[in-house]
Amino acid sequence: MHRLFKTLFLLPWLSACAPPWTPGGGMGRGPQDWDTGPHAGPHAARAHDFNWRLSGDRQVAPLQVFDDGRHTWLQFAPGQVMPALFIEHNGVERPAAYVRQEPYAILQGKWSAVVMRGGSLQARADYLGAGGHVAATASPTAPATVPMPSSGTASSASAPLSAPLSSPVSMAGAAAGAAPNMRAAVFPGAGPQGRGAPQAAAGSANARLYRAGPADENMRRALARWAGLAGWTFQPEHWAVDVDIPLSGSADFSDDFKRSVRALVAATELGERPLQPCFYANQVLRVIPLSQACDRTAVRPGASI
């Protein structure tokens, strides 16, 4: 009886001396214990809000930003160096607490702005307000995406994001304008290539089918890749628009470069910023607002002088 009494008396003291280990092996509820896995808690089924605007230097900016009201996800490109992250509240910046779960950096909480810094480079993500919520299982609607540089266009990587990115273009409408003989797209380097491939690269453009989709991340990158296949020139300065337009789906087009470009760009006609392609005799492609004229010396009908 005396031993039982001593045991009951000491149990509360022993439990009080034990360290706060959690069953998973961590101590306490720090950022490393946030339930961000696929079987996370109630917030895993919450709606995701993509209504964020990205601006600044592309090299330190994430691909997209979204939140669920409790956590904020920053998706970075594979291999991209993680910049320093800061949260901004009432004009005051302080280092952000986050966890890495590739390809995301997950911030605890939802903030009006997140700032990314890397040396002299800086980018920021600003929350634009409610209205961009989508269910976690729904197809992506308006992610604030940043174009990543493709091979041969490294100059665009350091260009700042001069303006908010536009809403994504649905590829369903673009595909409707493509030729009916759609087949699998042929990408550079696909299939066997003989020694004469370099000489036939430009001439074989008509034998290729053009495809655009989320892998291109935005319309500008898709057009740059197409121009390379067709032997045309399309550099960042030829995209005469202050926004990049994400692609929300995939579509195969015809084997004709100009017809495919027209069909893809026509998908913007019902959007916020309708665009048009311009083809020049020196095989240069430009994309400009529909309200402007391809011939810079001409005045578009209805335009003010």
Q: How confident is the model at residue 95 (pLDDT cuts 50, 70, 90)?
A: very high
Structure tokens at 107: 């911030």
pLDDT-above-90 percentage for the chain: 24
User: Where are the alpha helices (H) located in the chain, listed in sequence order?
Assistant: 2-17, 171-176, 197-200, 219-230, 257-265
What mean pLDDT do residues 121-126 have? 89
pTM of the model: 0.37
Predicted pLDDT of residue 277:
95
The residues spanned by each domain of the chain are: 45-146, 171-187+202-289
Phi, psi of 264 (to 5 degrees): -70, -50
Are the C-beta atoms of residues 51 and 129 closer than 8 Å to each other?
A: yes
Predicted pLDDT of residue 301:
53
Predicted pLDDT of residue 197:
42
Q: What digits encode the pLDDT tens for the residues 124-163?
A: 898 887 654 444 333 333 344 433 333 333 333 334 443 3
Would you tell me which CATH number, out of the four given (3.40.50.11930, 2.40.50.100, 2.40.440.10, 2.60.40.2500), belongs to the domain 45-146? 2.60.40.2500
Q: Which residue has the tokens 């740059």?
A: 224
Q: What digits encode the pLDDT tens for the residues 249-285?
A: 788 888 899 999 999 998 888 777 889 999 999 999 9
CA–CA separation, 263 vs 4, rounded Å? Answer: 84
Q: How confident is the model at residue 302 (pLDDT cuts 50, 70, 90)?
A: low
